[in-house]
Amino acid sequence: MSDPREPELPFDGDMEPEDLTGPRDQVGFDDLKPAQSHPLHSEYEDEEKEEEEAGEDRMGLLDHLDELRTVLIHSSYAAVAATILCWFWSADLLDLLIKPIESEGVYFTAPNEAFLTRLKLSAVVGMFVVAPFIFFKFYSFVMPGLYKQERKVVTPLLLATTLLFYLGIGFAFLVVIPQVVTFLLSFGTDNLSPLIGVGPYFGFVSRLCLAFGLVFELPLLVLFLSLLGIVNPKMLLRTWRYALIAIAALSAVLTPPDVISQVMMAGPVMLLYIGSVLVSIAVTRKRRQDAEAKTDSEDK
């Protein structure tokens, strides 16, 4: 006699439970709908699919190192070739370099100083010419590891970085250096004449051009910090006084100890700071619009 507390089973003892398993429509689940993917995951589905399809083509660590070695070798070849080509015009380049002080005369005080200065000048100008090619080679090396959304950000960022760096160097060489040199030489007297060595003068011009090239990257730095959410327009506008002091201190450090060069650096950098505020406003507004659009799509 069976125990009344024992539940009745829909199958005999000899019948396995697996016999009832089957398609969903045979066990009463035909009205269920497939689960939909979360809206937050939808934007990554295509990238994950692309990553899975490219899984077989992925390279190992040694392959990446070999490709990086190839990039470095090609970049070195390009820099050496550009330096050799610029050497043939090094005399003209040197005349262009010393044009702001050609009336005062430039001298070299060591037998090899003129040769080394022309060689350094050829190398610097050569790097200046092939820098876009080198940037492109490294970008081509990094690009396969980026998602499509990241490529849309990195490509304009690379172009803007190169353009701003060139603008800074051009502004320093064409505008700042002639004014600074004229101002500094004006302190001479009838009994105090300048005796300018070509080596120190080349170092002076190089440091000034490099400093302006770097400070012209300020808008991109603010853009990067705005994308990370570290800074916002209100913060930039609220701290403009501290920014002005920081810009003045930076100009004093990066330029020679004279008023003209410091003012000529601080002025453009302050304008770049204002442009950075506008960039931060645009980035913050875009992030807010994207967040609102995502919230609306989730509510629907």
Q: Is the pLDDT of residue 244 over 70?
A: yes
The residue type at 87: W
Q: What is the pLDDT of residue 55?
A: 47
Q: Note whether 100 and 192 are same-domain residues.
A: yes
Which pTM was predicted?
0.67
Does 115 fall in a domain? yes
Are 195 and 229 within one domain?
no
For the ranges 49-58, 118-127, 255-264, the lowest mean pLDDT is seen at 49-58
Q: Final residue of a domain: which of 197, 214, 231? A: 214
Judge whether residue 116 has pLDDT over 60. Answer: yes
Same structural domain, 97 and 231: no
Instruction: Identify whether residues 177 and 271 lie together within a single domain.
Output: no
Q: 105 and 137: one domain?
A: yes
Domain contains 149:
yes
Predicted local confidence at residue 56, as pLDDT: 45
Q: 153 and 109 share a domain?
A: yes
Same domain, 183 and 202: yes
* pLDDT at site 41: 47
Last-in-domain residue among 190, 214, 238? 214
Range of the domain at 237: 217-291
Share of the chain above pLDDT 90, in %: 10
Q: Is the pLDDT of residue 17 over 70?
A: no
Q: Which of 23-32, 160-169, 229-238, 255-264 comes out lowest in average pLDDT?
A: 23-32
In-domain check, residue 26: no
| pLDDT the model gives residue 287 | 74
Q: Among 214, 237, 261, where does a domain finish?
A: 214
Total number of domains in the chain: 2
Of 67 and 198, which is predicted with more confidence?
198
Same domain, 179 and 280: no
Same-domain status, 122 and 225 = no
Give pLDDT, residue 125.
92
Mean of per-residue pLDDT scores for the chain: 76
- The mean-pLDDT minimum among 117-121, 206-210, 281-285, 296-300 falls in 296-300
Instruction: Name the CA dihedral angle for 280, 286, 290, 295, rounded to a multiple of 10 degrees.
Output: 70
pLDDT given for residue 24 in this prediction: 46
Same domain, yes or no, for 132 and 242?
no
pLDDT tens digits for range 176-227: 888 888 888 888 787 888 888 898 999 989 988 888 888 888 877 777 777 7
The tens digit of pLDDT for each residue in 70-102 reads: 888 988 999 999 999 999 999 999 999 988 888
Residues 118, 173 share a domain: yes
Q: What is the structure's pLDDT at 252?
A: 78
pLDDT surpasses 80 at 58: no
For 119-167, write each residue's pLDDT tens digit. Answer: 999 999 999 889 888 888 887 777 777 677 767 767 777 888 888 889 9
Task: Answer yes or no: is 11 within a domain.
Answer: no
Q: Tell whether 201 and 78 lie within a shared domain.
A: yes
Residue 118 pLDDT grade (very low, low, confident, very high; cuts 50, 70, 90): very high
